[in-house]
Structure 1
Amino acid sequence: MVRGKTQMRRIENNTSRQITFSKRRNGLLKKAFELSVLCDAEVALIIFSPRGKLYEFASSSMQETIGRFLRHTKDSRASKRPTEETMQNMKNEAANMMKKIEHLEDWKRKLLGEGLESCSIEELQEIEQQLENSVSNIRARKTVLFKEQIQQLKEKEIVLAAENLRLAEKCGGMQVETLNGSKELGESENIGDDSNPISDVETELFIGLPPERRARRFPFRRP
Protein backbone atom coordinates (compact mmCIF):
# COMPACT_ATOMS: atom_id res chain seq x y z
CA MET A 1 0.00 0.00 0.00
CA VAL A 2 1.40 3.37 -1.02
CA ARG A 3 1.67 5.87 1.79
CA GLY A 4 0.34 9.36 1.23
CA LYS A 5 2.52 12.46 1.46
CA THR A 6 2.76 13.73 5.02
CA GLN A 7 1.86 17.37 5.50
CA MET A 8 4.60 19.36 7.21
CA ARG A 9 2.64 20.83 10.09
CA ARG A 10 2.25 20.25 13.79
CA ILE A 11 0.33 17.12 14.72
CA GLU A 12 -2.56 18.20 16.91
CA ASN A 13 -3.28 14.82 18.51
CA ASN A 14 -0.95 14.24 21.48
CA THR A 15 -0.79 10.46 21.10
CA SER A 16 -0.07 10.59 17.37
CA ARG A 17 2.52 13.31 17.92
CA GLN A 18 4.35 11.22 20.56
CA ILE A 19 4.33 8.12 18.35
CA THR A 20 5.65 10.07 15.36
CA PHE A 21 8.40 11.62 17.51
CA SER A 22 9.56 8.25 18.75
CA LYS A 23 9.67 6.72 15.25
CA ARG A 24 11.44 9.61 13.60
CA ARG A 25 13.88 10.05 16.48
CA ASN A 26 14.97 6.44 16.22
CA GLY A 27 15.27 6.76 12.45
CA LEU A 28 17.35 9.93 12.75
CA LEU A 29 19.72 8.34 15.30
CA LYS A 30 20.09 5.33 13.02
CA LYS A 31 20.91 7.51 10.01
CA ALA A 32 23.50 9.45 12.05
CA PHE A 33 25.18 6.19 13.06
CA GLU A 34 25.19 4.89 9.49
CA LEU A 35 26.67 8.15 8.20
CA SER A 36 29.51 8.05 10.74
CA VAL A 37 30.34 4.42 9.93
CA LEU A 38 29.96 4.42 6.15
CA CYS A 39 31.62 7.79 5.49
CA ASP A 40 34.02 7.94 8.45
CA ALA A 41 32.48 11.26 9.43
CA GLU A 42 32.47 12.90 12.81
CA VAL A 43 28.78 13.17 13.70
CA ALA A 44 27.13 14.62 16.78
CA LEU A 45 23.36 14.69 17.19
CA ILE A 46 21.38 16.36 19.98
CA ILE A 47 17.60 16.02 20.34
CA PHE A 48 15.29 17.47 22.99
CA SER A 49 11.80 16.03 23.25
CA PRO A 50 8.73 18.28 23.73
CA ARG A 51 8.96 17.48 27.44
CA GLY A 52 12.66 18.45 27.57
CA LYS A 53 14.18 14.96 27.58
CA LEU A 54 17.64 14.77 25.98
CA TYR A 55 18.61 12.28 23.28
CA GLU A 56 22.09 12.42 21.79
CA PHE A 57 24.52 10.52 19.59
CA ALA A 58 28.22 11.14 18.99
CA SER A 59 30.56 9.13 16.81
CA SER A 60 33.52 10.04 19.05
CA SER A 61 33.07 12.48 21.94
CA MET A 62 30.25 14.95 22.21
CA GLN A 63 32.39 17.53 24.05
CA GLU A 64 35.22 17.31 21.52
CA THR A 65 32.82 17.63 18.61
CA ILE A 66 31.12 20.66 20.19
CA GLY A 67 34.52 22.27 20.90
CA ARG A 68 35.58 21.68 17.33
CA PHE A 69 32.34 23.26 16.14
CA LEU A 70 32.88 26.35 18.31
CA ARG A 71 36.45 26.79 17.09
CA HIS A 72 35.36 26.45 13.49
CA THR A 73 32.58 29.04 13.82
CA LYS A 74 34.93 31.40 15.64
CA ASP A 75 37.53 31.15 12.90
CA SER A 76 34.86 31.69 10.23
CA ARG A 77 33.57 34.81 11.95
CA ALA A 78 37.09 36.14 12.39
CA SER A 79 37.89 35.59 8.74
CA LYS A 80 34.71 37.36 7.69
CA ARG A 81 35.27 40.31 10.02
CA PRO A 82 36.99 43.18 8.21
CA THR A 83 40.40 44.14 9.52
CA GLU A 84 41.35 47.62 10.67
CA GLU A 85 43.33 48.21 7.50
CA THR A 86 40.34 47.23 5.37
CA MET A 87 38.10 49.61 7.30
CA GLN A 88 40.57 52.45 6.83
CA ASN A 89 40.77 51.80 3.10
CA MET A 90 36.98 51.84 2.87
CA LYS A 91 36.84 55.16 4.74
CA ASN A 92 39.45 56.69 2.43
CA GLU A 93 37.58 55.48 -0.63
CA ALA A 94 34.31 56.93 0.70
CA ALA A 95 36.02 60.28 1.36
CA ASN A 96 37.42 60.33 -2.18
CA MET A 97 33.99 59.59 -3.62
CA MET A 98 32.47 62.44 -1.63
CA LYS A 99 35.12 64.84 -2.97
CA LYS A 100 34.40 63.73 -6.54
CA ILE A 101 30.67 64.22 -6.01
CA GLU A 102 31.21 67.71 -4.63
CA HIS A 103 33.48 68.59 -7.57
CA LEU A 104 30.87 67.36 -10.06
CA GLU A 105 28.13 69.31 -8.31
CA ASP A 106 30.24 72.49 -8.40
CA TRP A 107 31.04 71.96 -12.10
CA LYS A 108 27.33 71.43 -12.82
CA ARG A 109 26.43 74.73 -11.13
CA LYS A 110 29.08 76.55 -13.17
CA LEU A 111 27.75 75.07 -16.41
CA LEU A 112 24.34 76.43 -15.43
CA GLY A 113 25.86 79.88 -14.94
CA GLU A 114 25.84 79.84 -11.15
CA GLY A 115 28.74 80.53 -8.79
CA LEU A 116 31.01 82.05 -11.44
CA GLU A 117 32.35 84.78 -9.15
CA SER A 118 35.22 82.64 -7.89
CA CYS A 119 36.24 81.40 -11.36
CA SER A 120 39.42 82.56 -13.04
CA ILE A 121 39.83 83.46 -16.71
CA GLU A 122 41.15 79.97 -17.48
CA GLU A 123 38.21 78.30 -15.78
CA LEU A 124 35.73 80.55 -17.59
CA GLN A 125 37.39 79.75 -20.93
CA GLU A 126 37.21 76.04 -20.13
CA ILE A 127 33.53 76.34 -19.25
CA GLU A 128 32.88 78.29 -22.44
CA GLN A 129 34.67 75.67 -24.53
CA GLN A 130 32.68 72.92 -22.84
CA LEU A 131 29.41 74.69 -23.56
CA GLU A 132 30.37 75.24 -27.21
CA ASN A 133 31.17 71.55 -27.58
CA SER A 134 27.85 70.69 -26.01
CA VAL A 135 25.98 73.04 -28.35
CA SER A 136 27.80 71.53 -31.36
CA ASN A 137 26.82 68.04 -30.30
CA ILE A 138 23.22 69.11 -29.75
CA ARG A 139 23.04 70.77 -33.19
CA ALA A 140 24.57 67.72 -34.84
CA ARG A 141 22.02 65.48 -33.21
CA LYS A 142 19.21 67.86 -34.18
CA THR A 143 20.40 67.83 -37.81
CA VAL A 144 20.32 64.05 -37.84
CA LEU A 145 16.77 64.05 -36.48
CA PHE A 146 15.69 66.62 -39.07
CA LYS A 147 17.13 64.51 -41.88
CA GLU A 148 15.33 61.44 -40.59
CA GLN A 149 12.05 63.35 -40.40
CA ILE A 150 12.52 64.76 -43.93
CA GLN A 151 13.18 61.26 -45.26
CA GLN A 152 10.06 59.97 -43.57
CA LEU A 153 8.02 62.83 -45.04
CA LYS A 154 9.39 62.12 -48.52
CA GLU A 155 8.43 58.48 -48.23
CA LYS A 156 4.99 59.50 -47.02
CA GLU A 157 4.71 61.93 -49.97
CA ILE A 158 5.48 59.11 -52.42
CA VAL A 159 2.81 56.93 -50.86
CA LEU A 160 0.24 59.74 -50.96
CA ALA A 161 1.09 60.59 -54.58
CA ALA A 162 0.58 56.97 -55.60
CA GLU A 163 -2.72 56.90 -53.75
CA ASN A 164 -3.77 60.17 -55.42
CA LEU A 165 -2.90 58.79 -58.85
CA ARG A 166 -4.90 55.67 -58.19
CA LEU A 167 -7.92 57.69 -57.11
CA ALA A 168 -7.55 60.00 -60.15
CA GLU A 169 -7.52 57.01 -62.52
CA LYS A 170 -10.54 55.61 -60.79
CA CYS A 171 -12.44 58.91 -61.06
CA GLY A 172 -11.37 59.31 -64.73
CA GLY A 173 -12.76 55.91 -65.61
CA MET A 174 -16.07 56.77 -63.98
CA GLN A 175 -16.28 60.05 -65.99
CA VAL A 176 -15.58 58.23 -69.30
CA GLU A 177 -18.31 55.75 -68.57
CA THR A 178 -20.70 58.61 -67.77
CA LEU A 179 -19.85 60.47 -71.01
CA ASN A 180 -20.23 57.31 -73.09
CA GLY A 181 -23.61 56.65 -71.56
CA SER A 182 -24.78 60.22 -72.25
CA LYS A 183 -23.56 60.05 -75.88
CA GLU A 184 -25.38 56.79 -76.55
CA LEU A 185 -28.53 58.20 -75.03
CA GLY A 186 -28.34 61.33 -77.30
CA GLU A 187 -27.79 59.25 -80.44
CA SER A 188 -30.75 57.07 -79.64
CA GLU A 189 -32.96 60.17 -79.28
CA ASN A 190 -31.78 61.60 -82.66
CA ILE A 191 -32.47 58.35 -84.45
CA GLY A 192 -35.98 58.32 -83.08
CA ASP A 193 -36.64 61.86 -84.40
CA ASP A 194 -35.52 61.06 -88.03
CA SER A 195 -37.51 57.87 -88.33
CA ASN A 196 -40.73 59.38 -87.00
CA PRO A 197 -42.98 60.46 -89.97
CA ILE A 198 -45.08 62.62 -87.77
CA SER A 199 -42.19 65.06 -87.46
CA ASP A 200 -42.84 66.41 -91.06
CA VAL A 201 -46.50 67.20 -90.48
CA GLU A 202 -47.40 70.91 -90.45
CA THR A 203 -48.89 72.02 -87.25
CA GLU A 204 -49.79 75.61 -88.26
CA LEU A 205 -53.37 76.59 -87.48
CA PHE A 206 -55.53 78.05 -90.31
CA ILE A 207 -59.00 79.59 -90.12
CA GLY A 208 -61.18 78.90 -93.12
CA LEU A 209 -60.24 77.02 -96.24
CA PRO A 210 -56.72 75.99 -96.94
CA PRO A 211 -54.72 78.32 -99.21
CA GLU A 212 -54.77 75.97 -102.24
CA ARG A 213 -58.50 75.39 -102.13
CA ARG A 214 -59.14 79.11 -101.59
CA ALA A 215 -57.14 79.97 -104.73
CA ARG A 216 -59.01 77.43 -106.83
CA ARG A 217 -62.39 78.65 -105.61
CA PHE A 218 -61.72 82.34 -106.00
CA PRO A 219 -59.40 82.70 -109.00
CA PHE A 220 -60.13 86.30 -109.63
CA ARG A 221 -60.48 89.29 -107.41
CA ARG A 222 -62.83 92.12 -107.85
CA PRO A 223 -61.32 95.43 -108.88
Structure 2
Amino acid sequence: MPPHRRIKASKMTPAPEWARRSDDSVSNTSCDAPQRPPAGAKRDCGNLDMRIARDGTWYYKGSPIGRKELVCLFASVLKREEDGSYMLETPVERGRIEVEDAPFIAVEMVWRDCECGGAVRQCLSFRTNCDEVVPANADHPIRVQLCPRTREPRPYIMVRPGLEAKINRAVFYEMVALAVTETVDGRELMGVWSEGVFFPIDEAVADPVLAAE
Protein backbone atom coordinates (compact mmCIF):
# COMPACT_ATOMS: atom_id res chain seq x y z
CA MET A 1 0.00 0.00 0.00
CA PRO A 2 1.25 3.44 -0.79
CA PRO A 3 2.24 5.46 2.23
CA HIS A 4 -0.35 7.83 3.66
CA ARG A 5 0.13 11.40 2.58
CA ARG A 6 -0.94 14.46 4.50
CA ILE A 7 -3.02 16.74 2.36
CA LYS A 8 -2.33 20.36 3.17
CA ALA A 9 -5.52 22.33 3.49
CA SER A 10 -5.82 25.41 1.37
CA LYS A 11 -5.76 28.73 3.12
CA MET A 12 -9.32 29.65 4.07
CA THR A 13 -10.76 33.14 3.83
CA PRO A 14 -11.86 34.40 7.28
CA ALA A 15 -15.62 34.44 7.76
CA PRO A 16 -17.23 37.88 7.45
CA GLU A 17 -18.10 39.68 10.63
CA TRP A 18 -21.84 39.13 10.30
CA ALA A 19 -21.29 35.35 10.12
CA ARG A 20 -19.31 35.39 13.38
CA ARG A 21 -22.12 37.10 15.32
CA SER A 22 -24.45 35.23 17.60
CA ASP A 23 -27.74 33.93 16.20
CA ASP A 24 -29.69 36.60 18.10
CA SER A 25 -27.56 39.35 16.67
CA VAL A 26 -28.04 38.12 13.12
CA SER A 27 -31.80 37.68 13.48
CA ASN A 28 -32.21 41.27 14.66
CA THR A 29 -30.06 42.82 11.95
CA SER A 30 -31.20 43.29 8.37
CA CYS A 31 -30.42 45.86 5.72
CA ASP A 32 -33.99 45.66 4.49
CA ALA A 33 -35.74 45.72 7.87
CA PRO A 34 -37.26 49.09 8.86
CA GLN A 35 -35.72 50.79 11.83
CA ARG A 36 -37.90 50.59 14.90
CA PRO A 37 -38.69 53.84 16.71
CA PRO A 38 -37.15 54.29 20.15
CA ALA A 39 -38.91 52.54 22.99
CA GLY A 40 -42.06 54.45 23.97
CA ALA A 41 -42.10 56.55 20.78
CA LYS A 42 -45.09 56.46 18.41
CA ARG A 43 -44.82 56.27 14.65
CA ASP A 44 -45.94 59.55 13.07
CA CYS A 45 -48.12 58.87 10.03
CA GLY A 46 -48.34 62.56 9.08
CA ASN A 47 -51.55 63.88 7.54
CA LEU A 48 -54.27 61.25 7.21
CA ASP A 49 -56.86 61.57 4.45
CA MET A 50 -59.65 61.90 7.01
CA ARG A 51 -61.98 64.83 7.72
CA ILE A 52 -64.81 65.70 10.12
CA ALA A 53 -67.33 68.00 8.41
CA ARG A 54 -69.27 70.79 10.12
CA ASP A 55 -72.32 68.54 10.48
CA GLY A 56 -70.27 65.90 12.34
CA THR A 57 -69.92 63.48 9.41
CA TRP A 58 -66.58 61.66 9.24
CA TYR A 59 -65.00 61.23 5.80
CA TYR A 60 -62.18 58.93 4.72
CA LYS A 61 -60.61 59.61 1.31
CA GLY A 62 -63.61 61.75 0.38
CA SER A 63 -66.25 59.13 1.25
CA PRO A 64 -68.45 59.31 4.37
CA ILE A 65 -67.89 56.64 6.99
CA GLY A 66 -71.29 55.01 7.31
CA ARG A 67 -70.64 52.67 10.24
CA LYS A 68 -71.32 54.45 13.51
CA GLU A 69 -69.30 51.86 15.44
CA LEU A 70 -66.23 52.74 13.37
CA VAL A 71 -66.77 56.47 13.87
CA CYS A 72 -67.06 55.94 17.64
CA LEU A 73 -63.85 53.90 17.59
CA PHE A 74 -61.96 56.67 15.81
CA ALA A 75 -63.51 59.27 18.13
CA SER A 76 -62.26 57.38 21.19
CA VAL A 77 -58.61 57.93 20.14
CA LEU A 78 -59.03 61.54 18.99
CA LYS A 79 -56.88 64.14 20.74
CA ARG A 80 -56.01 67.77 20.25
CA GLU A 81 -52.50 69.18 20.18
CA GLU A 82 -51.33 72.41 21.78
CA ASP A 83 -51.16 74.03 18.33
CA GLY A 84 -54.88 73.30 17.80
CA SER A 85 -54.44 70.40 15.38
CA TYR A 86 -56.40 67.17 15.78
CA MET A 87 -54.71 63.77 15.99
CA LEU A 88 -55.84 60.16 15.96
CA GLU A 89 -53.48 58.50 18.41
CA THR A 90 -53.11 54.82 19.29
CA PRO A 91 -50.47 53.29 21.58
CA VAL A 92 -48.14 52.75 18.58
CA GLU A 93 -48.91 55.42 15.96
CA ARG A 94 -50.50 58.80 15.40
CA GLY A 95 -51.77 60.86 12.46
CA ARG A 96 -53.28 64.30 11.84
CA ILE A 97 -56.87 64.76 10.58
CA GLU A 98 -58.90 67.80 9.49
CA VAL A 99 -61.80 69.11 11.59
CA GLU A 100 -63.89 71.84 9.96
CA ASP A 101 -65.56 73.05 13.17
CA ALA A 102 -65.98 70.81 16.23
CA PRO A 103 -65.35 67.05 16.22
CA PHE A 104 -68.68 66.23 17.89
CA ILE A 105 -72.31 67.35 17.74
CA ALA A 106 -74.58 67.57 20.79
CA VAL A 107 -77.83 66.06 19.53
CA GLU A 108 -79.88 65.74 22.74
CA MET A 109 -80.20 67.47 26.12
CA VAL A 110 -81.69 66.24 29.37
CA TRP A 111 -82.35 68.53 32.32
CA ARG A 112 -83.40 67.63 35.81
CA ASP A 113 -83.20 68.84 39.40
CA CYS A 114 -80.75 66.75 41.40
CA GLU A 115 -79.03 66.87 44.78
CA CYS A 116 -75.48 67.44 43.57
CA GLY A 117 -73.12 69.35 45.81
CA GLY A 118 -75.46 68.94 48.78
CA ALA A 119 -78.25 71.10 47.36
CA VAL A 120 -81.10 70.65 44.92
CA ARG A 121 -80.17 72.41 41.70
CA GLN A 122 -80.62 72.21 37.95
CA CYS A 123 -78.36 69.83 36.03
CA LEU A 124 -78.00 69.64 32.26
CA SER A 125 -76.58 66.67 30.35
CA PHE A 126 -75.88 66.40 26.63
CA ARG A 127 -75.60 63.36 24.36
CA THR A 128 -73.23 63.56 21.42
CA ASN A 129 -73.55 61.95 18.00
CA CYS A 130 -71.12 59.30 19.32
CA ASP A 131 -73.51 58.55 22.23
CA GLU A 132 -71.17 60.07 24.81
CA VAL A 133 -73.11 61.68 27.67
CA VAL A 134 -71.55 64.87 28.99
CA PRO A 135 -72.80 66.81 32.05
CA ALA A 136 -72.50 70.58 31.88
CA ASN A 137 -70.34 71.64 34.83
CA ALA A 138 -67.03 73.26 35.68
CA ASP A 139 -65.10 70.47 33.95
CA HIS A 140 -67.37 70.48 30.89
CA PRO A 141 -68.27 74.15 30.34
CA ILE A 142 -70.73 75.53 27.83
CA ARG A 143 -69.50 78.43 25.73
CA VAL A 144 -71.44 80.48 23.19
CA GLN A 145 -69.45 82.24 20.48
CA LEU A 146 -71.31 85.24 19.05
CA CYS A 147 -70.72 86.61 15.58
CA PRO A 148 -69.54 90.22 16.15
CA ARG A 149 -71.61 91.45 13.21
CA THR A 150 -74.89 89.50 13.41
CA ARG A 151 -74.65 88.20 17.02
CA GLU A 152 -75.56 84.80 15.67
CA PRO A 153 -74.64 82.24 18.35
CA ARG A 154 -72.47 79.18 17.95
CA PRO A 155 -72.82 77.13 21.15
CA TYR A 156 -70.39 74.42 22.26
CA ILE A 157 -69.81 72.14 25.25
CA MET A 158 -66.47 70.63 26.26
CA VAL A 159 -66.46 66.84 25.91
CA ARG A 160 -62.83 66.04 26.67
CA PRO A 161 -59.82 68.32 27.11
CA GLY A 162 -59.52 70.30 23.87
CA LEU A 163 -62.45 68.49 22.22
CA GLU A 164 -65.83 70.19 21.96
CA ALA A 165 -69.30 69.27 20.71
CA LYS A 166 -71.27 71.87 18.82
CA ILE A 167 -74.80 72.10 20.23
CA ASN A 168 -77.22 71.71 17.34
CA ARG A 169 -80.06 74.13 16.72
CA ALA A 170 -82.91 72.13 18.24
CA VAL A 171 -80.94 71.44 21.42
CA PHE A 172 -79.89 75.09 21.64
CA TYR A 173 -83.58 76.14 21.52
CA GLU A 174 -84.29 73.82 24.46
CA MET A 175 -81.36 75.27 26.38
CA VAL A 176 -82.43 78.88 25.76
CA ALA A 177 -85.90 78.03 27.09
CA LEU A 178 -84.23 77.38 30.46
CA ALA A 179 -82.27 80.64 30.43
CA VAL A 180 -82.46 83.17 33.26
CA THR A 181 -80.93 86.60 33.79
CA GLU A 182 -78.04 87.03 36.20
CA THR A 183 -75.70 89.92 37.06
CA VAL A 184 -72.07 88.98 36.46
CA ASP A 185 -69.35 91.57 37.07
CA GLY A 186 -71.92 94.34 36.76
CA ARG A 187 -73.36 93.02 33.49
CA GLU A 188 -76.86 91.65 32.96
CA LEU A 189 -76.39 88.33 31.22
CA MET A 190 -78.81 85.70 29.99
CA GLY A 191 -77.64 82.14 30.57
CA VAL A 192 -78.30 78.74 32.08
CA TRP A 193 -77.35 77.08 35.34
CA SER A 194 -76.00 73.55 35.61
CA GLU A 195 -74.45 71.89 38.67
CA GLY A 196 -74.10 75.25 40.37
CA VAL A 197 -72.27 76.93 37.48
CA PHE A 198 -73.77 79.78 35.42
CA PHE A 199 -73.04 79.67 31.68
CA PRO A 200 -73.74 82.96 29.85
CA ILE A 201 -75.45 82.92 26.46
CA ASP A 202 -75.83 86.60 25.57
CA GLU A 203 -76.31 90.06 27.00
CA ALA A 204 -79.72 90.29 28.62
CA VAL A 205 -80.38 93.67 27.01
CA ALA A 206 -79.78 92.31 23.51
CA ASP A 207 -82.50 90.73 21.47
CA PRO A 208 -81.81 87.00 21.77
CA VAL A 209 -80.74 85.45 18.51
CA LEU A 210 -81.84 81.83 18.40
CA ALA A 211 -80.66 80.88 14.94
CA ALA A 212 -77.70 78.75 15.93
CA GLU A 213 -75.95 77.00 13.08
More helix by share: 1
- Higher strand residue share: 2
**More contact order relative to length (CA 8 Å, sep ≥ 6):** 2
Give the structure-1-normalised TM-score: 0.17
Larger Rg belongs to = 1
Give me the TM-score of the superposition, normalised by structure 2: 0.18
